[in-house]
Amino acid sequence: MKALSSEAIRELGSDIELELGRLAHLQQTIQAAQKEVQRDPLHAELFYESLALKLHNFYTGCERIFRLIAMEMNGGLPAGADWHKRLLDRMSDERQGRPAVLSASTASALQEFLGFRHVVRSVYGYELDPERIAQLLSRYPDVWRALEQDLREFGAWLRAFADQLETVPDRDPP
């Protein structure tokens, strides 16, 4: 792990909290769009492109957090064409003095959202499969809750680590 000050650790925790707030807001907009689909099923297909973009944004927000952690704590991002997948994989492993950020089950569930994000970026909105979107939407609440819990636990570790650095500056990370 890179040598970090307690201030840098606390700043990283604040950045993660900010992104969690943005993801919580996104969760509310996903729920609102889903209610519109239920309210007006005849026009549901009009909402699927919007919902697909919101699911894309969900994973993009997750990856923004993972990038912050990798850059601040581990010195950089993975290289190569598959760096997105490798970054997600690294978040479920202990690395260089930091605990795993995600549980293995959360990381596994997020793989599907990473793959879908790639699809959204690669096709026209009208080409997206509504059944696939509906399938991801059905999984989304559980994945969001698991992600939020994992990141809150990681945030607690960051706070404890920063506290430890302030009281015993020469100690190795927990």
Encode pLDDT of 121-153 as tens digits.
888 887 889 899 999 999 999 999 999 999 999
For residue 113, is pLDDT > 60? yes
Better-predicted residue by pLDDT, 101 or 168: 101
CB-based contact 47:37 (threshold 8 Å): yes
Provide the pLDDT confidence category of residue 170 given band limits of 50, 70 and 90.
low
Backbone φ/ψ region at 96: left (φ over 0), alpha (ψ -120 to 50), beta: left
For residue 3, is pLDDT > 80? no
| Closest to 51 (Cα-Cα) out of 35, 30, 36 | 30
Q: What is the pLDDT of residue 163?
A: 93
The residue whose two tokens read 């807001």 is 25
